[in-house]
Amino acid sequence: MRYLLPVLFLLMLWETPKAQITAELDSIEVTASRISTSISESGKNVSVITQADIQKMPVQSVDDLLRSLPGVNINARAGFGVQADVGVRGSTFSQVLFLLDNTPLNDPLTAHFNTNIPVALSEIAQIELIRGPASTSFGADAVGGVVHIKTKAYLMKEINAGQKISVRTNADVSAGQNDLKIIDASAGVAKKNFRFSTSFRTAQSDGEQFKNPGFREGVSNMENFNSYFDVTNLSAAASLNFANNWNIYVRSGIEDRDFNARYFYTRSIYDESTEQIESKWAISTLSYDNGNHRSEINASYRDVKDVFDFNPAIAPANVHETGLLYLNGSHQYRLTNEQLNSLSSSLKYMRFMVGGQVLNKQIESTDRGDHENTSWGIYGIHTMNYDFGLSVTSSLRLQFNPISDLSFLPQISASYDLGTVNLRTSVGRAIREGDFTERYISHQIPSLTPGRNIGNPDLLPEESTTLDFGMDWTPTRKLRLSPTIFYRSSSNLIDYALTNSTNIDNADNLQENEEYFYASNISESDVYGVEIISALNSNLGSNSNLETDIGYTYIKTTSDQNTVSRYIANHPSHQVSMNLSLNTGDLSLQTQSQFNVRSKESAALINAEVPDQYFLSNLQIGYTPFGQNFQIYTQILNLTDTQYQEILGAPMPGRWILGGVKYSL
């Protein structure tokens, strides 16, 4: 950190384009609540990854894109988007809500699947990270934050394309070490009020080879194993503006994942896991907008089949089939200028929204059984903006859960624009419901052996209250600094506690007077943290430009338990991120780097270790010989060849070199 301030000072000396730094705060519309506002008016610490960012960053998955953002903790089990847990501001991976085109992605089986994003990178137009609670607007699981992925077709669905047919295409084809092959492509066509788009992505590799601890211990005949993966998704979307003020938008798709899952979930020397995941999904939006009134209905369904084979020599594979049905309806009303003037001469706009949401989850599982539950809620949101710079958004949700009583979830956020300084603050409550794994794991296994996890059908929702305060300071057009402090208090946190079977009365497959890890509401915790984000965009000459983003996050978690659970506090205590983008003529260079300090873990039997600190850096060098629409590039992922794990037992990729071409029109 001692080198950070000199670097910032030197970069501030360069001349910077006028609009770039402030454009994101002032002009990009985000849904920090369900009512769209600019970032500066939202009262929240929001980061946005745009389509242009995605095109130039040296990454191959959404979770690696999120690594570039301060306050985000990624615990991946493999590279290239195979599987990763995402925490925000020290939250658990289950306490972050993922949305795709305004509908939830969180899997009812386990939050380990939340980053299984079923669209191609080239089809993504914008990723919004909303730090802090948002359960009032979006429902359960939005505790640490919300990751909202918006596709190109969704953002453009209500825009009239004109009389002529317009076509867009994007393609990214690459290959690299370990027989890596990636194809990522999307295309769209539009005329007048109709749009259609489709996208396709496949990423496959033999993976890296690792020594098999089971062979050394004599429980396996395989000396080595490979971290292979094969991930493919296909989607299509269409939208139509009709009857003047009406729009309908639909998107559907399929995805197949086949990968090595050894040590993803266990530390057993017998673990030889493989996993296959098949999903089918569809989302739709029907909206009416006449300026002052906007009504919207969102619906989605997702069907996922997961086949997890721990070790075929020991037991048959577990098969889980889950379904997620979502329905949301809302109406927004904006006051006219005449109405505003009668209330206050300083009011610029005022909006009201009321809505209701239903979420139905189903599972058929060989070891968890067959279950179904439904939660629903009603909410109201109110936002005001004054011409002297004050913006206030207040909201309230009544949430009805299948197990607990009514949850009362208020939230308020505010910002005050003072010119070069924008002050912001928010406070709100949020909840997280237990998933099917936490409720029912191992319930269908006869005479369960001691020491295994056992689910608890009677889990209450986790509850939390979060307060933050921050500001966005633009002392010059060369620099923006955004410091934020936050605090979250949580209760009823779900964790697995060693419990004697005589004290477990909702599972009938346990051996008498034996110990099991029982899912329980056992913990309370407090999280304190600081986020510091800086953004610079500097001219180095007539044809050269340097963009720099530097972030620092400090998080401390305390608990009422003697030892803070690693499930609850599996995050770095210190995290530094730096993204550099240098463009000069036809050449470009981008780096994404991160340094983490966290608690060390080890398991000698399987040669596993999560280091107490590690540095990661990705590099991309690009050349555009025929203009910006065609690029030849080379990526070096994990440039320093850091040997590390983020989930104990699952080795992350070492240095990986690939090359490819990108085309857009």
Q: What is the mean pLDDT of each run of 10 residues along the chain (665 residues)?
A: 39 38 63 88 93 91 94 95 95 94 94 93 96 94 96 92 91 97 97 95 97 92 95 97 93 97 92 97 96 95 96 93 97 88 86 97 96 95 94 96 87 96 97 94 92 93 96 90 97 90 95 93 91 90 88 92 68 95 94 95 91 96 91 97 95 96 93
Identity of the amino acid at 517: F
How would DSSP label each residue in 68-100? Answer: TSTTEEEEESSSTTS-EEEEETT--GGGEEEEE
How would DSSP label each residue in 416-485? Answer: EE-SSEEEEEEEEEEEE---HHHHHTTTTSTTBPTTSEE--TTPPPEEEEEEEEEEEEEEETTEEEEEEE
Q: What integer pLDDT is reported at residue 32 of this predicted model?
A: 81
592: which 2 tokens?
């994404």
Q: How many CB atoms lie within 10 A of CB 388?
A: 9
Q: How many Å apart are CA 247 and CA 239, to the nearest integer?
A: 7
Beta-ladder partners of 479: 476, 536
Name which of 574, 557, 577, 571 is nearest 601 in CA terms.
571
266: which 2 tokens?
């266990």
The model's pTM: 0.94
- CA distances for 168 relative to 52, 100, 118, 163, 359, angstroms: 15, 21, 20, 16, 35
CB of 185 closer than 8 Å to CB of 122: yes
Q: Which residues contact 628 (CB under 8 A, 6 or more apart)?
A: none
Q: What integer pLDDT is reported at residue 563 of this predicted model?
A: 56
CB of 577 closer than 8 Å to CB of 67: yes
Quickly tell me which residue has 């020991």 as its tokens.
314
Secondary element (H or E) of residue 42? helix 39-42
Query: Can you give the C-alpha Rg of the chain in angstroms?
Result: 25
Q: Residue 496, SS3?
A: strand
Q: What integer pLDDT is reported at residue 244 of this predicted model?
A: 85
490: which 2 tokens?
């949580």
478: which 2 tokens?
């060369």
Q: How many Å apart are CA 123 and CA 125, to the nearest integer?
A: 6
b vs e for 25-37, b when ≥16 Cβ sit within 10 Å of the residue's Cβ?
beeeebbbbbbeb
Q: How many Å apart are CA 287 and CA 346, to the nearest integer?
A: 31
175: which 2 tokens?
């290959």
Q: How many Å apart are CA 138 and CA 395, to the nearest integer?
A: 11
Q: How many CB atoms lie within 10 A of CB 587?
A: 12
CB of 633 closer than 8 Å to CB of 612: no
- CA distances for 606 relative to 98, 269, 311, 651, angstroms: 33, 6, 16, 11
Q: How many CB atoms lie within 10 A of CB 512?
A: 7
| Tally of CA atoms within 13 A in the half-sphere of 152 that contains its CB | 26
Q: Which residues contact 406 (CB under 8 A, 6 or more apart)?
A: 398, 399, 400
Angle at 316 between CA 310 and CA 322, to 5 degrees: 80
Q: How many Å apart are CA 74 and CA 60, to the nearest integer?
A: 14
CB of 659 closer than 8 Å to CB of 635: yes
Cβ burial, residue 78 (10 Å; 0-12/13-18/19+): buried
How would DSSP label each residue in 229-271? Answer: EEEEEEEEEEEEEETTTEEEEEEEEEEEEEEE-TTSS---TT-
Q: What integer pLDDT is reported at residue 566 of this predicted model?
A: 58
b vs e for 637-661, b when ≥16 Cβ sit within 10 Å of the residue's Cβ?
bbbeeeebbbbbbbbbbeebebebe
